[in-house]
Amino acid sequence: MVEDDPKIVQAVEKTLTLVPGYSLEWVPDPDRAVAEVIAKKPDLVLLDVRLSGGDGRVLLQVLKENIATRAIPVIMLTGLAGEGDKVLGLNLGADDYVVKPFGAMELLARIQAVLRRTGVGKDERKSVSVGGLELDVENRRASLEGARLDLQPREFEVLFLLAVNAGKSLSREFLLEHTSAYGLRVPTRSLDTHIKNLRKKLGAKGKMIHTVSKLGYRLEP
């Protein structure tokens, strides 16, 4: 990951721990980035557009022109939301373009989609199955015993975190951190609302979601 904000790097690293097999290498200095990519041959590069030591778009162009790195997929991370900026990045060879602030689940889904599209992630697990639930992260689809669940984006993310950590008690802080845009604070009552809605939508299976006193929630299949 080529990024000069350590808080963003730390948050992304936490996100990647949600799925087995992912790890993160941080390169804060864009001048070292090409050499590091050549040496370590990552499956994917996360590249910030605005770097204190350079322009991420220039670095992208260098990566795509180098025979040793041109095939490695790149996801651009940026605060520039304009369509022209996105088109420029894609024209330079970026495989995807994620606008800040972005959430943990969105980034994870984008990473999985790019890896699968480029052939790197074709054998990785596409969904989480537990207690009759089937959750597809990339496509944000959820079903219960074969019946499609109509979930709001945040409801899906909360349910995914509970499912992938089935049997473990998760704190409110953990759930909020991984279902909110990086760096944004969300009222804890919003989490309670999501849990209430999930229990209702799961019907009799809603009892799988347990409240853990003074901590948070746990899913018990």
- Whether the per-residue pLDDT at 113 is higher than 60: the answer is yes
Q: Of 75, 98, 117, which residue is a domain's last?
A: 117
Task: Tell which of 95, 117, 139 closes a domain.
Answer: 117
Q: Which two tokens stand for residue 17?
A: 């721990």
Task: Find the DSSP H helices in 44-152.
Answer: 56-65, 83-91, 104-117
Residue, of 28 and 83, whose pLDDT is higher: 28
Sign of the dihedral through C-alpha 47, 69, 60, 140: negative
Q: From residue 70, how far is each of 117, 165, 196 by CA, in Å?
A: 16, 36, 47
Give this prediction's pTM. 0.70
24 with 111, same domain: the answer is yes
Residue 55's DSSP bridge partners are 50
> 133 and 98 share a domain?
no
Q: Could you tell me which residue, 210 or 80, shows the higher pLDDT?
A: 210
208: amino acid identity, one letter: M
Q: What is the CATH number of the domain that holds 12?
A: 3.40.50.2300
Mean pLDDT of all residues in 85-95: 78
pLDDT digits (tens, 9 = 90+) for 121-180: 544 556 788 999 999 877 889 999 999 999 998 899 899 989 988 999 999 888 887 776
- Per the structure, the complete domain to which residue 85 belongs is given by 6-117
| Longest pairwise C-alpha distance within the chain | 56
For residue 122, is it within any domain?
no
